[in-house]
A and B are shown apart, each in its own frame.
Chain A
Amino acid sequence: MDPSRKRKIRLVVALSAAVLLAAGLVYTSFNASSEAKEPSQLAGSNPNQTYELTGDVVPGSIRHSGDQLDFRISDRDGSHPIPVTYTGTVPDPFRDGREVIVTGKYQDGTFVGERDSLITKCPSKFTTTTSGQSS
């Protein structure tokens, strides 16, 4: 076989492999992903579907009972608080009013978080100001 023909075959093989892999990537990413929702968007959602819930921890709502952590998450504007139960690692910055992300399922009006899925957003380093006048 002459070299240029060989190269062409190689190119076609490599490109088809790349296309197949890319198709797999696209397919699995749509399958494996979990939808991001705010509490107000959870109403009427599928109880067997996993969601990524984003919102603020309602001040004063955090209760520890044994290993379980109960708290409420509201939309960022403070509306639509819903109860959340969670077990597992609690990140350092978790506290009242913090924006958090927790992955889990919404069942019978309670959001049941998966173990160790709680993420706290870093308390925004760039927005704390002592006065309104900075910069």
Chain B
Amino acid sequence: MPLQVHHHDLGAIELTILGSVLLAAALVCALFAAGAAVYGGRTGDRRWVDSSRRAVYSVAALLTTAVVILEIAFVRNDFHFALVADHSSTTTPTFYKLTAMWSSQEGSLLLWAWVLSLASSGVLYITSRRHREIVPWATAVLAGLGSFFIGLMIFKAQPFGHLDPAPAEGVGLEPLLRNPYMAVHPPMLYSGYVLWSIPFAFCIGALIARKLDASWIRTTRNFALLAWTFLGIGLLLGSRWSYEELGWGGYWGWDPVENAALMPWLVGTAFLHSVMVQEKRGMLKVWNVSLISATFCLCLLGTFLVRSGVLQSIHAFGASTVGGPLLVLIAVTAIGATVLIVTRLDQLQPERRINSLLSRESIFLVNNLLLVGMAMVIFWGTFFPLISEFFTGEKHSLAAPWFDRYVTPIGVLLVLFTGIGPLFAWGRLSSGAAKRLLLWPSIATAVTIAVLLTVSDAGHHVWALLIFAFAAFALVALWGEFWRAGATRHALTGEAYPRALANAVGRNRRRYGGYIVHAGIALTLIGIAASSSFQTNRDLRLQVGQTAKVGDYTIAYRKLTADPQNERIAFAARLDVTRDGKHFATLNPARNYYPTQDPTAGPIGRYFMGDSTSEVGLKTGAGGDLWTAFQPDLSSLNPAIVRGNRELRGLPPNAQGLAIIALAQHYAQDPPPANFKVIVNPLVGWIWIGALIAVAGAIMAGWPALESRRRLEAAYRARLGRELGTATPPN
């Protein structure tokens, strides 16, 4: 080996060693932070607490450097990094090189630890002069978690493993992950998981310090909202990816890994609501600390399910080494939180009781039970293979219909509550006021049912009908809330109505942002109900020139085109779609074939035998989607491939490339019949439109308040405190 190359090798290997050293230093800092925080918390010595906070900042700095080193290696195709060689290649587009880091377990752990260190630093910076009793313990929890994940990377799954000599070419990113949604999905999901650790850590801190007023909730409120939003965006992107990339046309399959992300989101949603009851009414304290602990345990469980391979899943990532330690962490978290809650029960007594069923707190309680109930159903179904194995010795699994049977009715009730909740006031609502508030939404419900029964066959889909009706209820109720807010201010101040509305909403962004989230969720559920109940789904086998009718659409298969490139060969079908005799759309569903590294496939065969992915042909509209996927039959190529493998072996890559291009184009001129999957999916786009509206609402609700509004809030809190006779300390 020439000397220069050897030198280069050494430089790259030093970089991988530097990465490992950074991780080791981060572990030392995180362990020190945890120890110093505990010591500072016990002795009350602020210097140790300050020191632990600075140690957490150092962890963030060290991990940021490690991430940068790894990303630079990905961009530079430095295959001395085992991670780069296994998950990237010179032909991987640059954007996907950057995102390839988290397609690996090691890279995902690094991402997790890095986001955790950043979020911890953020919350500790904000609270550096506040909550002196709680912060040391919260720091200890966060630093302990950080130590755990950094320790996993050092002892179980090293992101900085090196290869010497480096291979000339990497394996490349798994083709199914080369999709913009999938590139952004893992960081969103992980950020969601990780951010839930902030309210959890402060809850544990409050429990240990026995400071169980609502201050820990107020401090971490926006972190919880952010966690909820990120987790929601993660779910959203994952479902969209499934819809566009996996070639089956569905967006949700009750797969264990999907359920694993949905469960903490549901329980977290319950938490976001029930903390309001504690803030405003001083109730549900035990419930809140239990909910946040459960949410965080479910986040860890989600990570565990993805990594451990204990459940059969289409995502089963293979048995992994980090499952055992994660299970220990989940057990420690669950048991620790339970012990703390039980020993602090006397301090978690409610300040008052629920007096009336016609009150916001009782509606919130019911909504909480529904959300937690839904999460428990999903939990049971997800873990049923393990449960049944425990009782019967045989693994039984539950399919989508079982989940639908339970989740649908709960979902229907939840839509109703997205509308009822905002209408009811805290404390007690007179039955006259309740009647007045419920009048218009109820009329909307009745009209929706009547119209749908006359113009559609919704009568055969009772659950879907109920969702539409209750969504109408919710949307009209929410509309009324905005209308009243504007009208009241207009009457009080004399401002023009639009201005009055904007001011009224702007002054209570948390409330109205929440209502926008509700409206978005109602739209999403309309999309889910419509697309799952009224979908037309056909499998076709067509020759070039043939047409088929699916629903109102006539689909003509015009031609097949081949697009051979370095990275992949794409075969695309051209479909001309007409409706009522008029041109509706031209769709180009395609299938991409990525070369395999398997030498037995042969020099020509390897371009046709590797992974393939679907590029669906999609025409999106407000009324619904026309979704098409394409599966060419390449078996007629087999004789030519076998001959090519034999005759072209040993030729330079250029000549082989020409042969492959010729082969692909020859196939495209006279292709055999191909399989198509066509789905007419009514209103499906509203799932994601509604979700985007919900995200916008969440951002609005969590947007940091202006200084003037803070003063207003402080004054309000002081007044509330006087009225309740329990002055809340300023924080």
Q: Which A residues are closer than 8 A to B by beta carbons?
A: 3, 7, 14, 18, 21, 25-26, 28-30, 32-36, 52, 54, 64, 66-67, 87-93, 95, 101, 103, 116, 119-131, 133-135
- Distance of A12 Cα from B395 Cα, bound (Å): 35
Chain B residues positioned under 8 Å from A122 (CB to CB): 174, 176, 314-317
User: Is there a chain A Cβ closer than 8 Å to B690's Cβ?
Assistant: no
- Distance of A67 Cα from B406 Cα, bound (Å): 34
Q: Is the CB of A89 within 8 A of B633?
A: no
How many inter-chain residue pairs (CB < 8 Å) link A and B? Answer: 144
- Distance of A133 Cα from B405 Cα, bound (Å): 48
Chain A residues positioned under 8 Å from B677 (CB to CB): 89
User: Assuming the A-B contacts A32-B398, A36-B312, are A130 and B167 also in contact, with contact meaning beta carbons closer than 8 angstroms in the complex?
Assistant: yes
CB distance from A4 to the nearest CB of B (A): 9
Q: Which of A36, A103, A122, A135 has the most CB of B within 10 A?
A: A135
Chain B 216-254 interface mask (CB, 8 Å, partner A; 1/0): 000000000000000000000000000001111100000
Q: Is the CB of B398 within 8 A of A125?
A: no
- Interchain residue pairs with CB less than 8 A apart (6): A26-B380, A92-B246, A92-B612, A121-B316, A124-B317, A129-B86
Q: Is the CB of A125 within 8 A of B312?
A: no
CB distance from B160 to the nearest CB of A (A): 9
Chain A residues positioned under 8 Å from B539 (CB to CB): 67, 87-89
Q: Which residue in chain A gives the minimum CB-CB distance to B172?
A: A128
Q: Which B residues are closer than 8 A to A by beta carbons?
A: 82-83, 85-87, 103-106, 157-159, 161, 163, 167, 170-171, 174, 176-177, 245-249, 312-318, 320, 353, 355, 369, 373, 377, 380-381, 384-385, 388, 394-399, 401-402, 405-406, 539, 541, 597, 609, 611-614, 631, 633, 635, 675, 677
- Distance of A52 Cα from B313 Cα, bound (Å): 12
- Distance of A120 Cα from B313 Cα, bound (Å): 9
Q: Which residue in chain A gives the minimum CB-CB distance to B592?
A: A92
Contact of B380 among A25, A88, A121, A130 (CB under 8 A): A25
The list of the 9 closest CB pairs from A to B, nearest first, reads A134-B82, A33-B396, A135-B161, A124-B318, A36-B395, A127-B318, A32-B402, A126-B105, A92-B247
Q: Is the CB of B177 within 8 A of A125?
A: yes
Q: Is the CB of A33 within 8 A of B541?
A: no
Q: Is the CB of B248 within 8 A of A91?
A: yes
User: Assuming the A-B contacts A92-B247, A125-B174, are A29 and B318 also in contact, with contact meaning beta carbons closer than 8 angstroms in the complex?
Assistant: no
Chain B residues positioned under 8 Å from A135 (CB to CB): 82-83, 106, 157-159, 161
Chain A residues positioned under 8 Å from B161 (CB to CB): 133-135
Q: Is the CB of B317 within 8 A of A33?
A: no
User: Assuming the A-B contacts A25-B406, A29-B402, A33-B398, are A126 and B318 also in contact, with contact meaning beta carbons closer than 8 angstroms in the complex?
Assistant: yes
Q: Which residue in chain A gives the minimum CB-CB distance to B85?
A: A130
Q: Is the CB of A91 within 8 A of B163?
A: no
- Distance of A54 Cα from B312 Cα, bound (Å): 9
Chain A residues positioned under 8 Å from B163 (CB to CB): 130-131, 133-134
User: Assuming the A-B contacts A67-B541, A91-B246, A134-B161, are A30 and B316 also in contact, with contact meaning beta carbons closer than 8 angstroms in the complex?
Assistant: no
Q: Is the CB of B614 within 8 A of A92?
A: yes
Chain B residues positioned under 8 Å from A32 (CB to CB): 398-399, 401-402
Chain B residues positioned under 8 Å from A121 (CB to CB): 313-316
- Distance of A33 Cα from B380 Cα, bound (Å): 12
- Distance of A130 Cα from B157 Cα, bound (Å): 17
Q: Is the CB of A36 within 8 A of B318?
A: no
User: Assuming the A-B contacts A28-B405, A89-B248, are A125 and B380 also in contact, with contact meaning beta carbons closer than 8 angstroms in the complex?
Assistant: no
Chain B residues positioned under 8 Å from A116 (CB to CB): 248
User: Assuming the A-B contacts A52-B397, A130-B171, are A33 and B312 also in contact, with contact meaning beta carbons closer than 8 angstroms in the complex?
Assistant: no
Chain A residues positioned under 8 Å from B405 (CB to CB): 28
Q: Which of A3, A36, A128, A130 has the most CB of B within 10 A?
A: A130
Contact of A126 among B82, B104, B249 (CB under 8 A): B104
- Distance of A47 Cα from B160 Cα, bound (Å): 52
User: Assuming the A-B contacts A25-B380, A131-B163, A134-B161, are A90 and B316 also in contact, with contact meaning beta carbons closer than 8 angstroms in the complex?
Assistant: no
- Distance of A122 Cα from B153 Cα, bound (Å): 24
- Distance of A26 Cα from B396 Cα, bound (Å): 13
Q: Which residue in chain A gives the minimum CB-CB distance to B316?
A: A121
CB distance from B441 to the nearest CB of A (A): 26
- Distance of A91 Cα from B612 Cα, bound (Å): 10
Chain A residues positioned under 8 Å from B399 (CB to CB): 32, 34, 103
CB distance from B167 to the nearest CB of A (A): 5
- Distance of A89 Cα from B679 Cα, bound (Å): 12
Q: Which residue in chain B gives the minimum CB-CB distance to A63?
A: B635
- Distance of A33 Cα from B397 Cα, bound (Å): 5
